[in-house]
Structure 1
Amino acid sequence: MKKVLITIGTILVLLMAAMIVLPVVFKGPLLNKVKTTINDNVNAKVEFADFKLNLWRSFPNVMMELKGLTVVGLGEFENDTLVSMQSLATDISLSDLFKGEDFTIQSLRLSQAQVNLLSNSSEQVNWDIAKESTATQEDESGESMAISLQDIEVRDLSLIYKDAATATVVALLNSNLDASGRMEGTITHFDLDAEIGEFKLEYDSTQYIANTVLKVNSQLMADYNKMVFEFGESTLHLNELPLDLSGRFEMPSDSMYFDLQFKQPQSDFATLLALVPQSYQSYLEDIETTGEAGFEGNVKGWFYEETYPEINTRIYVNNATLQYAGSPEKIEQISLDGQITKPEGDFDLLTVNVSNAHIQIRENPVDARLTLTHPMSDPQFDAYFNGKIDFTQLAEIIPMDSIELQGFMDGNLSVKGRMSAIENEDYEKIASSGAFNFRNFKVKTPQITQAVEINSGAVKVDNTAITLTSFDGKTGQSDFQLKGKLSNYLPYFLMDKTLKGDFTLNSNYLNFNELANLMAEDTVATTATDSVIAFQVPANLNLAFNSKINRASFDKMDIKNIVGSIVVKDRMLELKQLNMDILQGKLAIDGSYKSNDANQPLFDFDIDLSTVQIPAFYRSFGLVQQYLPIAARSQGEISTKLKFNGQLSETLDIIPSSLDGSGLFNTQNLQIVDSPTFDQIKNFIKKEKLQNVRVDDFTAHFSLNDGNVEMKPFQTKIADQEVSIYGNLSVAQMLDLKMDFKVNREDISDDINSALGFLPGSQNITVLPITVGISGNLKEPKVSMDMSEAKKQIQDEVKKSTKEELDKSIKNVGDKLKKLFN
């Protein structure tokens, strides 16, 4: 017995040692075989971070796992990733491992995988990576990998297909699958559970299917020898809509054959509403429905290259009603018959036909129909709408969360033609007509800060234009009356082309502060609600508004009698010959405001501002507050002509370093009151002259370069003294200004006059030159006086004096000179 126990113990130790050692021993050969097999069979760059063997998890089988797998294309698709995967694992038998050949794949487990299938404009595809010589190589080597799957586990798989030639995108996102099976000869029976978290279909930049969840619960038969897969008792969920699924599909070679049927198990309207995407299901809570409805279809035929199977689907609703709990009203006579069909062949044979679409709320019916054919080559469409909608009643019937709707609309619209006629601007081949009338319409959503109201409006539609015969509306404090025409609207809505328009705009009052912030911004802090935010001018617009506005507000300014042209084009707002009354003066503007992605708009303006009051001018313009703070202590009138350009911040403040331009300004009746700067020169001008300093009218020219201001010399009189002014102001608000005074003898301060009286020859001095320098920070400048020219003039006059005059005053000269110049 002792020998038996020793023998059993020895065997167990050896088995445990083998299970530890074998992954290390065989890892090298298997790693080489995996890499060799992959590289021998594909034209692509295949990489993986690690390769692992594990005898414990699947014993007596061996688990093989690739970590960090990527497959990147070559040639036309170089650097395009076909497959990326966190983990790919399978199990093989221990006997296959020892033989080193004819591996049989029994299970497959993959996680966090993304598959990107690309087809370029030349119809080349990135998944065609198999080498043509694969079969020959396998025959010669005598080795292969067979498939006999009985267990499949997929976690977080996303598959995206992009076709550049047809502008089609199909996406199966966040997919999971579990399949476990049992073998009966060559056939495996699976219990299959699969879910596609989101199914998307996009064509020509338009999403036709989104937020759609697909689920499958099925008993699936798989014959791997014939590559035939047949559905037993199966249910397909489209969002929450259950569909009975039956049929089969085959993959005999590089083609596929489908024969699948699906049908809604219960023919009632409540069941059909489960088709609504999950994100909108909350709107269908607490509703009562009646009526018959259903969804059914089949897919049958071959899928090979550009040949697709036959498709027949139908969705229908017959005499249904919908009523929310607690609502006195209901939507009645709901009907619809929609079909999507295609014979076997090209996708261009697909037809969409929606007929008998009808709903009614009280006495207000709405009817519509749509036919679409040749979607891939040259879409042909025939659409019709006719109805009356009382939005006030509709809001009472259907919960709309934070959306407020009121008012009444009735109208009709029909459009028929081909996309090629729109592309070629051959509008005579498009049959389009319609008319809409609005009364007491009002809408308020979280996306806008003010309700938009249309008191009345009449719109006509034809092949070439949408004509506003009347449009009387308001938003917030602003009112507007529009008349005009929108052209090129079909290319704009269907092909993202430019919308053109020409309108007359009349208004009694426009509040531009409100209008600039009409679109709500989630990122704007509540403390900044009084700020004007830079607005984005929409792209693909070419609109002209010939405007007449009686009154408007912008920032802190009250503006009247605005007349001129406003053009919206290429994300730019252009003002052409825009004239207005502002700050008790006149303003004429030509210029532009251009949006950009950074929301720091560019501007380029030519401004002519005449005879405005300086205090109001200072309060209303931040640029004046920044560059002319002395205007805060000034009275009088100012006029300016300025041509400049630069950039604005997100709050419509000018970015100083961006400013370039030139201009001039002139003043009338300028008076500077209690200026600290002038208070500092009271030592040489009489105090009474400096209390309310009068400045004679003048014209000054200046230039702007990267926000730096250069003031060219100009002459005027300050406090009745002739002065020449010139200097610079840097973008950093550092000032270097010179004022060359010629001070009248009678206006010189009493102390200086007294000192001059003792000097011989001083009676010849009638004007004293003194330079005042103002430098340093603009908010707290330093004032200095340069009297070198005055000293020289006095010395020259003293030298001209006679000996008797010098002897008479010699004893006082030294003391007075010290007093004068110190």
Structure 2
Amino acid sequence: MKKVFITIAIIILLLIAAIIIVPIVFKKPLLNKVKTTLNENVNAKVEFADFNLNLWRNFPNVTMELEGLTVTGINPFEGDTLVKMASLATDISLSDLINGEDFTIQSLRLNKAQINLLANANSEVNWDIAKETTETETTGTSESGMSISLNDIEIRDLSLIYRDASTATVVGLLHSNLDASGTLEGTITKFDLDAEIGEFRLEYDSTEYIANTVLKVNSQLMADYDKMNFEFGESTIHLNELPLDLSGRFEMPSDSMYFDLQFKQPQSDFATLLAMVPKSYQSCYLEDIQTTGEAGFEGQVKGWFYEDNYPEIDARLYVQDATLQYANAPDKIERISLDGKISKPQGELDLLTVNISNAHAQIRENPVDARLTLTHPMSDPAFDASFKGKIDFTRLTSVIPMDSIELQGIMDGNLSVKGRMSAIENENYEKIASDGAFTFSNFKVKTPQITQAVEIKSGSVKVDNTSITISSFNAKTGQSDFALNGKLTNYLPYFLLDKTLQGNFSLQSNYLNFNELSNLMAAEADSVSTTTNDSVFAFQVPANLNLAFNSSINRAMFDRIEIRNIVGLIEVQNKQLKLKKLNMDLLQGHLAVDGSYKSNAANKPLFDFNLNISDIQIPAAYQSFGLVQRYLPIAARSQGEFSTDLKFNGQLNEQLNIIPSTLDGSGFFNTQNLHIIDSPTFNQIKSFIKKEKLKNVKVDDFTAYFNFDNGNIELKPFQTKIADQQVSMHGNLTVDQMLDIKLDFQVNREDISGDINSMLGFLPGSNNITLIPVTVGITGNLTDPQVKMDLSKAKKMIQEEVKKSTQEGIEKSVKDIGDKLKKLFN
């Protein structure tokens, strides 16, 4: 017995030693064999971060694992990744490892794999990486190579994406998992297969046709590796939650594949068919419903697949006399029917035909009918579609839960369109047959995406192959109303080819509130706004639009300004709003505008305007215009009117205020009946001019020219009278609101303050002085300027007059001259 225990202990120790030593001994030669096999058989760059051997996991088999595996293309696909995965593992027998020649791969485990299949515009593919081998090479490989005899497959988080540049097609099988285990009988393995594709996507020509679709497969699969034949036994495939019975087989005898597959919905009822709707939509729209009626989905795929030759497809989806009613809903959708077919003979995908007929549904007495035929989808899509129906949106919301969407009103109309995509691309609209008409009455919509409900009291739309004519379109949103009549053209290229929509309209309104309209689109909940509490925000002008509105608006509100009698042309052109000869009355004056507003991604629009303003009340302008408040704060203490002609450009912030440092331009302004009341600036020169002249300063009408340069203002010299005194004025105001203004006064002798006038009376020759030159300098910050008087010119003039006086006059007043001059100029 002791010898038995010793023998068993020795065997166990040898096994443990072997488990430890074998991976160390065989790792390097096996690594070389793997690298050699890969590099000899593929035209690609194969890299991996590490290679591991493990005897513990599946003893007596050896587990081989590649970590960080990548396969990168060469030549036309240089740098494109074909395969990238976290790990790839397989099992081989210990005897194969020790023998060191042929390896039979028994299992396969993939983790976090990404496969990118690419076909370029020249129909070259990145997965064609297998090297061509001669008969001698093939024989050599068989003598010392790898063979496949899988009976266990495990795939976790595999994403496969196929992109074909020549057909603009993208197919995605994302976040897929698969488990397959089987029994080996000779060369045939019988698998129990369980697979799930987390999302199936199909995109063609930048349009997504299938998304949010989950595919599941539960199947008994028989695989014959010698013949590469695979046959489905008892199998079920789930399209989202719709179960389909699957049967048939597929073969891969060479570089082609042969399919003979059939699928069918096991239960022919409408409720089962609705299970194909993605779960995200079911939870929103298909909870707590009751249904009746027959429905089904069935089809087959049969034929060969190689290069651009695809097998025959024949699929049908049908609904017959079905109803749908939500719990507690007073009405239901009834007489639902549909017959949809997708078919294609053996050949290219351009032979595919989609035919949807007998599509019908109604709520009470309001029916809707539609049909669609689509052929040649790859080369030149040909379409033939029609719609006819009456929709009572008020009843519709009582049948289908709309969450936070409010709908009411009636739409009644029909539309048919037939033609080919090439006719649209080549603008051969005469080859498109399109005809239709719609009427709206008492329509109203309110969604979380808009801040105000949009109402259409009445409206009529007529459609033909070249245009959409809108007439008697009376609408309202918030406080704003408008009547619209006109025509849209180029609408087919706009909707189908992302071209520019063109239109010309007549717009009439009794009242428009631009504050509301500029904020009609609600801010997104997760957006971070940098705006203040101001009510006006910058707005985005849509792209791909070329619309003109000949406008006549009786009254409007913008910011705090009430505007009347707006007449002119408003154009929307590719993210620009253009105003042409737009005339309006505001602030008891008149404004004419030409210019543009251009939105951008930063929501800081660019503007370029020519303004002609006439007879605007100065106090009202100060209260209404931020530009006046910034550059002319003295207007807060002013009365009268002003006019201006201004050409300027720059950038606005999100509150539609001008960003001062961006302002460039030039212009002039003139004043009428200008009075400045109790100005602190003028109050500082009361020591020289009689103070009663400075309480209510009258400024004679004048015209002043100026330039804007990056927000800095240069005021060119101009002349006027201030408080009945002649004055010449010029200077600068920086973007930082720093002043440097000079006012050169010629003060009337009788308007000089009493003390100074009495001092002048002692001077000989003072009777010849009628005007005193005084320069007033205004510097410093605009909100708190410093005022300084320069009397050097007055001093020099008085000295000259004294010199001209007689010797006798000088001698008589010689005693007082020195003292008076000191008081006068100090």
CA drift of 1:18 comes to 4.6
Q: Distance in 1 between matches of 2:353 and 2:626?
A: 61
CA drift of 1:746 comes to 2.3
Corresponding position: 1:651 with 2:655? yes
Q: Distance in 2 between matches of 1:40 and 1:749?
A: 109
Q: Distance in 2 between matches of 1:74 and 1:620?
A: 67
Q: Return closer, same or farther for 1:722/1:297 CA change in 2, 3 Å cut-off.
A: same
Q: Distance in 1 between matches of 2:135 and 2:277?
A: 48
Task: Give the structure 2 partner of residue 172 of structure 1.
Answer: 173
Task: Give the structure 2 partner of residue 371 of structure 1.
Answer: 373
Q: Which runs of 5+ in 1 are unaligned?
A: none
Which of 729, 732, 735 in structure 2 is aligned with 1:725?
Answer: 729
Please say if residues 460 and 467 of structure 1, whose CA atoms lie closer than 8 Å, have aligned partners that are also in contact: yes
Alignment of 1:309-320 (within 5 A): 309-320=311-322
Task: Give the structure 2 partner of residue 345 of structure 1.
Answer: 347
Alignment of 1:731-810 (within 5 A): 731-810=735-814
Q: Return closer, same or farther for 1:586/1:263 CA change in 2, 3 Å cut-off.
A: same
Corresponding position: 1:394 with 2:406? no
Equivalent residue of 2:628, what SS?
Answer: helix
CA drift of 1:357 comes to 0.7
Please say if residues 105 and 150 of structure 2, whose CA atoms lie closer than 8 Å, have aligned partners that are also in contact: yes
Task: Give the structure 2 partner of residue 362 of structure 1.
Answer: 364
Q: Which runs of 5+ in 2 are unaligned?
A: none
Per-residue CA deviations over 1:583-625 (Å, capped at 9, x if unaligned) read 1111111111122222222211111111111111122222222
CA drift of 1:558 comes to 0.9
My pick for the range that moved more, 348-357 or 696-705, is 696-705
Equivalent residue of 2:121, what SS?
Answer: coil
The total of aligned residue pairs comes to 822
Which of 562, 566, 576 in structure 1 is aligned with 2:566?
Answer: 562
CA drift of 1:178 comes to 1.9
Task: Give the structure 1 partner of residue 430 of structure 2.
Answer: 428
Q: Return closer, same or farther for 1:662/1:74 CA change in 2, 3 Å cut-off.
A: farther
Q: Distance in 2 between matches of 1:335 and 1:792?
A: 105
CA drift of 1:15 comes to 4.2
Which of 694, 704, 707 in structure 2 is aligned with 1:703?
Answer: 707
Q: Return closer, same or farther for 1:98/1:772 CA change in 2, 3 Å cut-off.
A: farther
My pick for the range that moved more, 7-16 or 280-289, is 7-16
Per-residue CA deviations over 1:83-138 (Å, capped at 9, x if unaligned) read 22222232333333334443332222222222222222222222223333488656
Corresponding position: 1:414 with 2:419? no
Task: Give the structure 1 partner of residue 38 of structure 2.
Answer: 38
Please say if residues 664 and 711 of structure 2, whose CA atoms lie closer than 8 Å, have aligned partners that are also in contact: yes
Per-residue CA deviations over 1:559-594 (Å, capped at 9, x if unaligned) read 111111111122211111111111111111111112
Per-residue CA deviations over 1:350-390 (Å, capped at 9, x if unaligned) read 11111111112111111111111111111111111111111
Amino acid at match of 1:83: V
Amino acid at match of 1:718: I
Amino acid at match of 1:337: D
Task: Give the structure 2 partner of residue 664 of structure 1.
Answer: 668
Q: Return closer, same or farther for 1:369/1:741 CA change in 2, 3 Å cut-off.
A: same
Amino acid at match of 2:319: V
Task: Give the structure 1 partner of residue 66 of structure 2.
Answer: 66
CA drift of 1:140 comes to 4.1
My pick for the range that moved more, 336-345 or 14-23, is 14-23
CA drift of 1:345 comes to 0.6
Task: Give the structure 1 partner of residue 335 of structure 2.
Answer: 333
Please say if residues 40 and 134 of structure 1, whose CA atoms lie closer than 8 Å, have aligned partners that are also in contact: no
Task: Give the structure 2 partner of residue 297 of structure 1.
Answer: 299
Task: Give the structure 2 partner of residue 81 of structure 1.
Answer: 81
Which of 581, 584, 589 in structure 2 is aligned with 1:577?
Answer: 581
Corresponding position: 1:455 with 2:457? yes
Task: Give the structure 2 partner of residue 146 of structure 1.
Answer: 147
Please say if residues 138 and 144 of structure 1, whose CA atoms lie closer than 8 Å, have aligned partners that are also in contact: no
Equivalent residue of 1:513, what SS?
Answer: helix
Please say if residues 241 and 271 of structure 1, whose CA atoms lie closer than 8 Å, have aligned partners that are also in contact: yes
Task: Give the structure 1 partner of residue 122 of structure 2.
Answer: 122
My pick for the range that moved more, 595-604 or 349-358, is 595-604
Per-residue CA deviations over 1:638-658 (Å, capped at 9, x if unaligned) read 111111112222332222222
Q: Distance in 2 between matches of 1:3 and 1:810?
A: 149
Q: Distance in 2 between matches of 1:402 and 1:139?
A: 71
Task: Give the structure 2 partner of residue 198 of structure 1.
Answer: 199
Please say if residues 41 and 134 of structure 1, whose CA atoms lie closer than 8 Å, have aligned partners that are also in contact: no
CA drift of 1:80 comes to 2.7
Amino acid at match of 1:115: I
Q: Return closer, same or farther for 1:435/1:19 CA change in 2, 3 Å cut-off.
A: same
Task: Give the structure 2 partner of residue 322 of structure 1.
Answer: 324
Equivalent residue of 1:508, what SS?
Answer: strand
Equivalent residue of 2:794, what SS?
Answer: helix
Per-residue CA deviations over 1:516-541 (Å, capped at 9, x if unaligned) read 11111212659857532222111111
TM-score (norm: length of structure 2): 0.95
Q: Return closer, same or farther for 1:761/1:233 CA change in 2, 3 Å cut-off.
A: same
Q: Distance in 2 between matches of 1:793 and 1:4?
A: 137
Amino acid at match of 2:352: L
Q: Distance in 2 between matches of 1:557 and 1:106?
A: 82
CA drift of 1:9 comes to 4.8
Q: Distance in 1 between matches of 2:774 and 2:25?
A: 100
CA drift of 1:632 comes to 1.8
- CA RMSD between the two structures: 2.2
Please say if residues 246 and 261 of structure 2, whose CA atoms lie closer than 8 Å, have aligned partners that are also in contact: yes
Equivalent residue of 1:254, what SS?
Answer: coil
Task: Give the structure 2 partner of residue 539 of structure 1.
Answer: 543
Amino acid at match of 1:281: Q
Equivalent residue of 1:43, what SS?
Answer: coil
CA drift of 1:71 comes to 2.8
Q: Distance in 2 between matches of 1:352 and 1:178?
A: 35
Corresponding position: 1:475 with 2:467? no
Equivalent residue of 1:151, what SS?
Answer: strand
Per-residue CA deviations over 1:259-298 (Å, capped at 9, x if unaligned) read 1111111111111111112121021111111111111111
